[in-house]
């Protein structure tokens, strides 16, 4: 049976006798369970699924659940937070790992830390199929997750669209997955940044930074379009001037910083590493004089939107145009 388990693991068969889902990302843990249950029900629509917490799996319970049935029914037994099982129950599970029952799939969800490591090691030694479910704390991980979501849904999305979605929706994987699925359902063809902007520009922070990104990249027409859309959807002008200021200051900081790896620069400048990479791409046309001109334009716009002028929209448009021109100052020089 262990040889059979190892072979199935090599093929990543969801119906392997034991699946070990390791990590603390709830969405990925739930998906690991759903994949096994779906495969089992595809093989037998009457599959019995038991989803248990540690307090529900008492000593002897696993033996009862996995004992041969008169009807030889297929069964999936899911054990959540396996690291919290009692010592006696862990003994039961370890014994079961040595001789898994036919037609039964055991799914162990384990946080992956030091607690309950003996059970984790035993499941791995027994050749359990393993699914990694790590907590995604880094922006780069969430970006890779979004790319994977679009691939899994059979659709292509530009790198800019994936980044825009992460910027707009945030760090919650369930929300990111839902947003990707919504876009795929509603939009035909390749999903690009403009599409993401139309759907999620109502999120003030995201749309403000879209204006700033396009301006510091020297893309005047796109920056003005994003600005008008933001204002039309009710984004406060002060949020836009703040985003413009951050965008220009980031260019200035990075252009005056010593060279080095993104991680080192990130610590020095107080930016996440992914932003260092983005700003490096944005700063190609900039000069020190251009940064100075852009900062003055931001200051004037800020005064204009805070009551120093009669037309906040005009003040913002003027700042956007000035910043975009400054972004191309090296090319003109």
Contact at 8 Å (CB) between 257 and 268? yes
Rounded CA-CA distance 270/28 in Å is 31
Is the pLDDT at 244 greater than 90? The verdict is: yes
Is the whole-model pTM more than 0.85? no
Between 23-27, 69-73, 170-174, the lowest mean confidence (pLDDT) is in 69-73
Mean pLDDT of 72-78: 86
Task: Give pLDDT tens digits for 265-317.
Answer: 666 666 666 677 778 888 888 998 999 999 999 999 988 887 766 788 999 99
The segment with the largest mean pLDDT, out of 73-82, 134-143, 272-281, is 73-82
- pLDDT beyond 90 at 220: yes
Domain boundaries along the sequence of the chain? 16-131, 137-198, 206-325
Q: What is the pLDDT of residues 25-35, one digit of tens each?
A: 988 999 999 99
Domain 206-325 classification at class level: mainly alpha
Joined together, the tokens standing for residue 143 give: 């970006």
Among 178, 111, 117, CA closest to 149: 178
- The pLDDT, as a whole number, for residue 331 is 56
> Which residues sit opposite 76 in a β-bridge?
49, 105
Could you please state the CATH topology (level 3) that the domain comprising 16-131 is classified under.
Rossmann fold (3.40.50)
Q: Which CATH number describes the domain made up of 137-198?
A: 1.10.8
Q: What percent of the chain has pLDDT over 70?
A: 85
b/e string for 121-135 if b means 16 or more Cβ within 10 A? ebbeebbbbbbebee
Equal fold, 16-131 vs 206-325: no
């Amino acid at each position: 049976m262990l040889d059979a388990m190892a072979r199935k693991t090599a093929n990543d068969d969801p119906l392997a006798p034991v699946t070990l889902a390791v990590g603390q990302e709830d969405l990925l843990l739930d998906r690991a369970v759903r994949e096994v249950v779906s495969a089992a029900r595809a093989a037998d629509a009457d599959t019995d699924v038991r989803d248990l917490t540690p307090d529900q799996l008492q000593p002897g319970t696993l033996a009862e659940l996995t004992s041969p049935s008169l009807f030889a029914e297929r069964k999936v037994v899911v054990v959540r937070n396996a690291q919290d099982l009692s010592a006696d129950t862990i003994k039961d599970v370890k014994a079961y790992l040595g001789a898994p029952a036919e037609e039964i799939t055991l799914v162990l969800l384990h946080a992956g830390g030091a607690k309950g490591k003996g059970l984790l090691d035993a499941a791995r030694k027994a050749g359990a199929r393993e699914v990694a479910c790590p907590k995604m704390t880094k922006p780069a991980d969430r970006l890779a997750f979004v790319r994977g979501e679009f691939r899994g849904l059979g659709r292509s999305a530009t790198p800019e669209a994936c980044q825009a979605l992460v910027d707009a929706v945030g760090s919650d994987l369930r929300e990111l997955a839902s947003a990707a699925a919504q876009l795929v359902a509603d939009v035909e063809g390749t999903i690009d940044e403009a599409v993401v902007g139309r759907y999620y520009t109502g999120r003030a922070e995201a749309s403000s930074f879209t204006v700033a990104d396009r301006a510091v990249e020297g893309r005047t027409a796109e920056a003005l379009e994003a600005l008008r859309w933001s204002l039309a959807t009710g984004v406060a002008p002060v949020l836009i001037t703040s985003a413009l200021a951050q965008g220009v200051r980031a260019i200035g900081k990075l252009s005056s910083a010593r060279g080095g790896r993104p991680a080192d620069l990130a610590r020095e400048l107080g930016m996440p590493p992914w932003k260092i990479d983005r700003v490096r791409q944005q700063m190609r046309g900039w000069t020190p004089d251009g940064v100075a001109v852009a900062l003055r334009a931001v200051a004037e716009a800020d005064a204009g939107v805070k009551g120093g002028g009669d037309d906040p929209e005009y003040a913002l448009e003027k700042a956007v145009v000035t910043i975009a021109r400054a972004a191309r100052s090296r090319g003109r020089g």
